[in-house]
Amino acid sequence: MPVSITHVIGTVALLGMLIAVGFAFSLISSVIEADLMKGQLGDVAEYVALNLGEVISLVDASNYPGVTMTKAIELPETISGKSYNIMLLNQTGLGCYVQASMVSRPDVYARSLIPLNITGSGVWLRDETVQDEPWWPTPLGGTVIPTNGTSAGFRYLVWAHWQTEIEAGLGREKPSAG
């Protein structure tokens, strides 16, 4: 039996419509997922910024060179089951920020301003671009390692240290070997 051309055209159009609906659904769900992740990233960035601002203010208020303060913070290992990075940004004239972004989608990020009330000192935000090596001991006997992002098995800290200016950052505590 001969197949009518209208049946072929109708079948092809129906398949094309199914593919278009599937594509539209995946695009819409991707946008919704990105929006949800931005909200969670914003919460993480704000949490880190507020704790970092608190530690910096305490170090500045101590008015004692050589003082180091740390504060343990709890960060989620993943956001929506995916890895993320935390970057500390010192934008001249605009302030200091914490930026949290997804590793798999760098276009999905959130920023939070670090609330600083520094009187006579400058602040240098230190991150992983400085060598990943133990920096100083912590009260629990471990060492602080400047870092961006999260990894399993570490306790995270915000820290500030004052010598000639205030250095501050996010770090992970590596437990002592003993």
137-148 pLDDT, tens digit per residue, is 555 555 565 565
* SS3 sequence of 13-44: HHHHHHHHHHHHHHHHHHHHHHHHHHHHHHHH
71-125 pLDDT, tens digit per residue, is 888 888 888 888 888 888 877 667 788 889 998 888 999 999 988 876 444 777 7
Q: Which among 173, 71, 67, 163 has a CA at the least distance from the CA of 123?
A: 163
pTM exceeds 0.85, yes or no? no
For the record, the structure tokens of 96 come out as: 């200091």
